[in-house]
Amino acid sequence: MQKSTIATLLAAPVLVLGLSACVSSLPSAEYDRITAEVVKASFQDKGIAKVDRLVQDDANRECAAADVAGKPIDEKVAKAIEEAEMKTVKWPSDGKFLGDWKEGEKIAQSGRGLTWTDNEKTVNGGNCYNCHQITKEEISFGTLGPSLYNYGKLRGVSDPNSPASKAIVEYTWGKMWNSRAYNACSQMPRAGHKGILNEQQLKHVMALLLDPNSPVNK
Amino acid sequence: MKRHVLALAALAALGQGTAWAQDAAAEGIAKYREMLQDGNPAELFEMKGEELWKQKRGPKNVSLEQCDLGKGPGVLKGAFVELPRFFKDTGRVQDMESRLVTCMETLQGFNAAEIMKTPFGKGEMANLTALATYVATQSKGMRFALPYNTTEEKTMYEVGKRLFYMRGGTHDFSCASCHGQEGKRIRLQDLPDLTKNPGDGIGFAAWPAYRVSNSQMWGMQLRLNDCYRQQRFPEPKFGSDVTIALAVYMGVNAKGAESIVPSIKR
């Protein structure tokens, strides 16, 4: 049986603080430290999912800390995260934002990729329907994110190539590339930034949302 | 099983449509679950677990009947709804499954490390799941009431809370991404809010469960393992402190929830 990391980790502070046998609390930072030790001892590589995936970047660490404290993230910290994440957004290399909405629908449907039961050859999906309503035809959608039905139509996009549509087209690309650039603690995966979807796949999902011919905008 | 197939066919027929179809599909799933309750295959695992509990096994050729799951040697009723808890003899907070491994080692002479490295559904790990199903079933209808009165348990709760909100992996998911709000769904699957008591027989009060989609019996250890797989995290070791801390967090939050174990899931 694996020896308790908790028992050994606890021993020191209990002695130092001279606490008795009753239930005692430690400072929050101490629990943070113990948690890091527990994580280190508990996870192991499996398939393509290695322990380096647990390394925390600033955005994840700050957002999680705010959640644990049960209060919203500090405004200045949020702004700093958003600015840093915005710098990671890569715009389409050929200046074209939209691909084929039919391909986009397939990507939105797929939840595959990047688990330890997938491999390097697995084509990643976008997991979009897990959290969002998208087309009216697909009734099996999640509700963790807002409905995206009529996404382009509601935003007045009749021609995605027109100057009038430029701002919303760019926002949509940026949001999918790195959601945290617009909302520091957004729960949406950073699809472009984290390499979940490639540029071509993102273009297809863009078309699903913004092409006037896509069922999303019917 | 014929009527189960019919229910599934009915669900499939609902494929096209609108919000009405969606409600109908959700209702269909609920009915399907209800029908399965009268013939839950989990009972087979429970029976196997009872045999294993009473059978003399292992290098020492003894039964598990003197195993102390927290309420004294051999006391089964109510043990499950008070786990995880701190055990003086191991100096650890343990959940039902890791405590059963301790008993298999100390009473029967099995090698605990070897059991915990065995893949789910194989060898002694499959036996462990059956044992867990049997033990948990003895608390069916009882309400969760973890003792939660030691410093070790308090520490595990605080660690569990931090793990619950820890974002990571390729998708920045945490447990809270899916289980931090009330009334949300992934696809058509309702998601329990595990930051509080999610209700009788929901979340922590629903595992071990028989899973219809893959015909397998799953304990909470495997449930957590598969959550982390879907979170795109690396693998939590069986019985590791990450799994125990999360169980303490969920178990304490579920105070007062009625256990319906063994339950049945899609």
Average pLDDT over residues A193-217: 98
Please state whether beta strands A43-44 and B184-186 pair in parallel, antiparallel, or not at all (unpaired): unpaired
**CA of A155 vs chain B CAs: smallest distance (Å):** 23
Which of B86, B152, B162 to mutate: most A Cβ within 10 Å? B162
CATH level 2 (architecture), domain A45-218: Orthogonal Bundle (1.10)
3-class SS of residue B62: strand
Domain ranges of chain A: 1-42, 45-218
Per-residue model confidence (pLDDT) at position B27: 74
Q: How many CB contacts within 8 angstroms connect chain A with chain B?
A: 190
Q: Are strands B216-218 and B235-236 parallel, antiparallel or unpaired?
A: unpaired
**Binary contact (B187, A45; C-beta < 8 A):** no
Mean pLDDT of chain B, nearest integer: 91
Q: What is the mean pLDDT of residues A141-148?
A: 98
For the cut 90, the answer to whether the pLDDT of residue A11 exceeds it is no
Q: Is the pLDDT of residue B6 over 50?
A: no
**Interchain CB contact of B196 with A (< 8 Å):** no
Nearest CB to B90: which of A1, A55, A115? A1
Q: Are strands B209-211 and B263-265 parallel, antiparallel or unpaired?
A: parallel
Q: Which of A16-25, B25-34, B37-46, B142-151 has the highest mean pLDDT?
A: B142-151
Higher pLDDT, B6 or B78: B78
Q: By mean pLDDT, which of A14-18, A85-89, B159-163, B234-238 is the weakest?
A: A14-18
Question: How high is the pLDDT of residue B3?
Answer: 45
Q: Residue B58: which residues within 8 A CB-CB, separation 6 or more? A: B104, B107, B108, B109, B110
Tell me which of A12-26, A146-160, B234-248 is least confident: A12-26
DSSP-assigned states of every residue in A29-71? HHHHHHHHHHHHHHEE-BTTB-GGGGPPPHHHHHHHHHHHHTS
CA gap B253, A97 in Å, rounded: 46
Mean pLDDT on B204-221 = 95
Q: Is the dihedral of CA B111, B117, B120, B122 positive or negative?
A: negative
B235: three-class secondary structure by DSSP:
strand
Q: Tell me, what's the pLDDT at A6?
A: 54
B11 vs B59, higher pLDDT: B59
Residues 6+ apart with CB under 8 A from A106: A204
Minimal CA separation from B87 to chain A, in Å: 11
Q: Mean of the per-residue pLDDT values for chain A?
A: 92
Residues of chain B neighbouring A4 (CB-CB closer than 8 A) = 90-92, 241
d(CA B128, CA B45): 10
pLDDT in tens, A152-166: 999 999 999 999 999
Residue written as tokens 């089964």?
Answer: B76
Query: Residue written as tokens 């982390």?
Result: B228
The DSSP secondary-structure symbol of B262 reads S
The answer to whether residue B194 scores a pLDDT higher than 90 is yes
Average pLDDT over residues B21-26: 67
Query: Beta partners for B235?
Result: A44
pLDDT band at A197 (very low <50, low <70, confident <90, very high): very high
Would you give the DSSP letter of residue B168?
Answer: B
Q: Does B101 touch chain A (CB under 8 A)?
A: yes
Across residues A91-98, what is the average pLDDT? 97
Nearest beta carbon to residue A23 from set B91, B151, B234: B151
How far away is chain B from the Cα of A13, in angstroms, using its nearest Cα? 12
Rounded Cα gap, residues B172 and B134, in angstroms: 37
- Answer yes or no: is pLDDT of B37 > 90: no
What pLDDT, on a 0 to 100 scale, did the predictor assign at position B253?
Answer: 98
Closest CA to B120 of B219, B52, B240: B219
Among B21, B169, B180, the residue with its CB nearest the CB of A53 is B169
Contact B163 A46 (CB under 8 A): no
Q: What is the pLDDT of residue B266?
A: 81
- Is residue A44 pLDDT above 50, yes or no? yes
Structure pTM?
0.90
More confident residue, B2 or B216: B216
Q: Find all residues with CB under 8 Å of B169, minimum gap 6, and list them.
A: A49, A53, A54, A114, B231, B232, B233
Residue B178 falls in the annotated catalytic set: no
Mean pLDDT for A191-199 is: 98
B25/B31 Cα distance (integer angstroms): 10
B-interface mutation test, from A140, A178, A179, A185, most B Cβ less than 10 A away: A140
B186 bridge partner residues: B189
| C-alpha distances in Å from residue A86, one per residue of A89, A171, A186, B32 | 6, 11, 13, 47
Tell me the average pLDDT across B237-251: 98
Checking if the pLDDT of A13 tops 70, the result is no
CA distance B41 to B156: 34
- Of A86-100, A111-125, B38-52, minimum mean pLDDT range: B38-52
Would the CB atoms of A187 and B243 count as touching at under 8 Å? no
Lowest mean pLDDT among A58-62, B18-22, B131-135: B18-22
pLDDT at B29: 66
Residue B11: predicted pLDDT: 44
Chain B: give the shortest CA distance to residue A59, in Å.
9
Report which DSSP code applies to A163.
G
Residue A125 burial by CB count (10 A; 0-12/13-18/19+): exposed, middle or buried?
buried
Rounded Cα distance between A109 and A103, Å, is 10
Mean pLDDT of B189-199: 96
- Look at residue B13 and tell me whether its pLDDT is greater than 60: no
Q: Please report residues of B whose CB lies closer than 8 A to that of A137.
A: 16
Is B91 an interface residue toward A (CB < 8 Å)?
yes
Element (H, E) at B216: strand B216-218
Per-residue b or e along B234-260, where b marks 16 or more CB atoms closer than 10 Å to that residue's CB: bbbbbbbbbbbbbbbbbbbbbeebbbb
Choose, from B67, B103, B178, B227, the residue flagged as catalytic.
B227
**In chain A, what percentage of residues exceed pLDDT 90?**
89
| Chain A CB within 8 Å of residue B117 CB | no
pLDDT at A27: 94
- Residue B25 has what pLDDT? 67
| pLDDT at B137 > cutoff 70 | yes
Please check the confidence at residue B197 and state whether its pLDDT lies above 70: yes
